[in-house]
Structure 1
């Protein structure tokens, strides 16, 4: 297929947005990208929709990066008309979708329900004949329950007939409306204010989608509709099913596949947060559903609903969903307790553990032992919070002593150094941070006021932070360049320097900003390590710390026993696919060489002098937070299947660590006194190298610490096959290098050790991946 000018514009925008997202996010981890079909009609379906405009950007960027396919996302027509967002959406080849709620207008007068017939709506000073048409909807405000009903007939200017009663999830709509009308009449009003939501014909949009799929393109959609910040999915819209079935019904020779993609964020609204993009197994649309869809009527609705259920089940396998926020907090706390104190898990493992724990919890939540464990975990969380600590800091909190005092003084000095390096960039970029913070907070309140599904409106914060920063940064840097030039002129600098000053400033400012970003992160990491030291030096806190440690050890042991008890009941192959079993105690370190990092036998590079002093003089060993993954070599990983390039922080997903702009102290008051904190990040990463694992290992190179049970947690995901680009794939045609096969992270270390050392890397990788895929397939068939 020939590359068009619109394709070139798309590619340039992808490059630009990838820079933006890599600045905003500290880490973006793709999982299972080998599942993406390299050609053919494809519907890309993403959920949950937690980050308004950044969600489609992430999906488009990752799909393009991994499979070199251009995804055209459905975008609200209102957004495409926006002067700030519209130009970007058009360059990204977005498909406009007119939404009825965007076209809603306030109706004249006030309305109330007929006393005897709930399908008759009457009004005072209304103009139904000119403002309302059949198939429109009458909607009430959020205070009235956001109820709506379709109009079937306009009788007069003051009377119309509804198709059904006003719908409500948890109450009778008509009853609720009558209560609100009575309240309004008691205050002297004749009825309720209302909005008229017009009927939108989407035939033009569907025609655009069908043509795109017919040409073998990719169409992206979020089936939940709008963005939200809930812990579970919103009800799926039928549009995605109609698109797939309609395209195949209109083109008998067309085969449409559906690619489910799960998005998992760690504080989606925070600057320098983390994201995991998980690609599930692509779905084939059953032909029998297409035949049912062609019949129309009730069969058409039934086919759409069945396909929607299939998509929903597919997205459940790649997402972590909790029924409510409290359950989410408990699950995340349990995951932290299950992990050994000195053990590091990657972002991929965090997401996987979350999914397994929520599945087990929802299945056994009524068991008395599980309920008691939940209560104890909540109590433990409260005690940790009362002491001003985080869970990952509890095992290493120590009794007060001269060493503790010396370590505290040293870290204060280190914090001063990093803060000094970051300060120039923070000051220069402070207007950007402040303006982005203020405007995003304002937009958050507006979105929350205008939505019936948002909890706190956090799904719009990141979008507006990015947009405001993009607009303000060029103007601010230009202003600095003008000021610098004026200073150079007044200082009597030579003409050459006067000319070059603005250019040098425009080049230097991004570098200063990036340096501030990195030094600021280092400083925040040091700041996060101070609370345990300060608390241990306070009089009378040693006993509280000891009690907290004992409670954590007890909960960790109790959790392991509960998993050992109920895990095999939920999964027949639980013992075979168990990931790891925790120990509540910090694992001992082997004696390190003088100039090597502690417990890092694969790392043969000399460490930074300050890190050496930190580890050897004061015993602050970052190796305790290093990866204990099986993949501990020096090889360069592939794009998407290697372990996390940056260490997943020991701090929890739910712990509040603030934005980078929180370095500006006066922002704390604006956040109601909540300080910003960042998660600890390992200085280096730990990667997979099959050849390294073939070599004999000793001491601290043990991949997975085991307790007395010595078991591994079941792997929920399906089998993994190596990704080899086909000759006809876009990646093979346009890429200058082929992608190296990579080993999935579900292969047991013992099995890897059995591979003959003389076997080539590629053959060994393919053999192990295929073996795991067959085992998982047999396991699923046995379960079914």
Structure 2
């Protein structure tokens, strides 16, 4: 079995299903993460073929953040094991997905009668066709979800397809743009996530330069170059302990910097993303035999401050929670608290949203934990089939409400039409519910710290000022 060859995909042609999938993906991110930020270190060209490569630490959210990070439609390469028939097949078709096979799926593919070599050959043809049409092709070169503290070895298939595309005459050049998905805590609801877009480069130019210098410009060399690009926009560490130390440092330092006062200054999450390379070097320095006193002092201040954030009820790796705790101590930080009057006005809609969604959100989360086979599967299963469970819940509410109208004798075209209109607004009430909860939690974090004894708040002020001074003395210029 091989996916049927299709006519050229046109991302500019309106597709109701594609519009719905994008709408639901934005909802899924909003319901799970507190804030998602796009950090533009580089840009995606407005026209022309683009190879958009990303890391893959957290399954489906990585895909959705990649869609948000790119201003143009992204045609992902995705495993055929997810299904190219039925609902999955329709979704693949609407999004312009290019199916491929992976070695890890070989047994399942053989059982289904899938000719893996033929599928990948067809995928290569479609990639060349996509580039020739000036499309953006999105790929996770690791070949699947990589639940590890650093970027692992990349598969060579992406490099092979890309070089074939510029060799077969279908396109003159391809711009390679890396994007890194960074999470404060990938599987913790209501934390923040970032997608960092790196600087693009010419594939043909890269190869010409390598050949001119007498260097290898083949598949292996390109694969190494793709990995190097991803290292520049992602978070990497030797082990999970180092990764946690790095994330605490990023959160604490980003939060202790004074808030942006001009458009040229980076907001909190962007500052955090830009701090990652420095934090990685500092952690490596502290853990080495030749660690400097500066790195050791920074670690001490960060560790103590993060402990206080956790004691206040925040997340140790969250820049926003650090900023709110610092604000509660009476210092200036980018806390981003929702005004109380806004929360009060939002309360009725939020209460309706929670009344309707709390049971189903709880069920989705329980099912995700129950059926996840690995850590990285939890969030993916909260999204799909989680969204499908929510949709069925909406359908059940609609059917139950219409039945109640019929039984009560109050059913009419007008009442049913009004009811259906209200049903379509249910996702908006869920938006209000999660926003309301985030707002009150932010204020609760501040109020909790303000109730601490004066000596404890003084410790918080001392640590914050010490961290600011230590950072300024060694790294403020970066």
- Short-chain TM bin: 0.7 to 0.9
**Contact kept in structure 2, 1:17 and 1:57, CA below 8 Å:** no
Task: Determine the C-alpha separation between the residues in 2 that align with 1:284 and 1:52.
Answer: 28
Task: Please state how far the C-alpha of 1:308 moved relative to its aligned partner.
Answer: 2.0
Please point out which of 150, 155, 171 is paired with 1:237. 155
- The equivalent residue for 1:53 is 60
Task: Please state how far the C-alpha of 1:289 moved relative to its aligned partner.
Answer: 4.3
Deviation string for 1:308-341 (max 9, x for gaps)? 2222222233233233333333333334444547
Task: Determine the C-alpha separation between the residues in 2 that align with 1:420 and 1:233.
Answer: 45
- The equivalent residue for 1:320 is 235
Task: Please state how far the C-alpha of 1:353 moved relative to its aligned partner.
Answer: 1.8
- The equivalent residue for 1:100 is 103
**Contact kept in structure 2, 1:481 and 1:501, CA below 8 Å:** no
Task: Please state how far the C-alpha of 1:306 moved relative to its aligned partner.
Answer: 1.8
Gaps of 5+ in 2: 1-6, 261-266, 315-321, 331-339
Task: Determine the C-alpha separation between the residues in 1 that align with 2:392 and 2:23.
Answer: 19
Task: Determine the C-alpha separation between the residues in 2 that align with 1:27 and 1:84.
Answer: 30
Task: Please state how far the C-alpha of 1:233 moved relative to its aligned partner.
Answer: 0.7
- The equivalent residue for 1:343 is 259
**Contact kept in structure 2, 1:259 and 1:279, CA below 8 Å:** yes
- The equivalent residue for 1:307 is 222
Task: Determine the C-alpha separation between the residues in 1 that align with 2:57 and 2:249.
Answer: 23
**Contact kept in structure 1, 2:151 and 2:227, CA below 8 Å:** no
Task: Please state how far the C-alpha of 1:380 moved relative to its aligned partner.
Answer: 0.9
Task: Please state how far the C-alpha of 1:13 moved relative to its aligned partner.
Answer: 4.4
1:440 aligns with 2:368: yes
Task: Determine the C-alpha separation between the residues in 2 that align with 1:234 and 1:300.
Answer: 24
- The equivalent residue for 1:263 is 181
> Paired residues, what number?
436
Change in 2 beyond 3 A, CA 1:33/1:215: farther
Deviation string for 1:415-453 (max 9, x for gaps)? 899666523321211332023202221343x1x2xxxxx
SS in structure 2 at match of 1:223: coil
SS in structure 2 at match of 1:51: coil
SS in structure 2 at match of 1:462: helix
Task: Determine the C-alpha separation between the residues in 2 that align with 1:273 and 1:393.
Answer: 14
- The equivalent residue for 1:757 is none
Change in 2 beyond 3 A, CA 1:267/1:487: same
- The equivalent residue for 1:608 is none
Give the number of the structure whose alpha-carbon radius of gyration is greater. 1
Task: Determine the C-alpha separation between the residues in 2 that align with 1:523 and 1:395.
Answer: 17
Please point out which of 443, 448, 457 is paired with 1:531. 448
Scaled by the length of structure 2, the TM-score of the pair is 0.76
Over the aligned positions, Cα root-mean-square deviation in angstroms equals: 4.0
Please point out which of 367, 371, 379 is paired with 2:291. 367
- The equivalent residue for 2:52 is 44
Task: Determine the C-alpha separation between the residues in 1 that align with 2:329 and 2:196.
Answer: 39
Scaled by the length of structure 1, the TM-score of the pair is 0.49
| Structure whose residues are more often helix by fraction | 2
**Contact kept in structure 2, 1:330 and 1:374, CA below 8 Å:** no
**Contact kept in structure 1, 2:251 and 2:272, CA below 8 Å:** no
1:276 aligns with 2:197: no
**Contact kept in structure 2, 1:419 and 1:519, CA below 8 Å:** yes
1:472 aligns with 2:389: yes
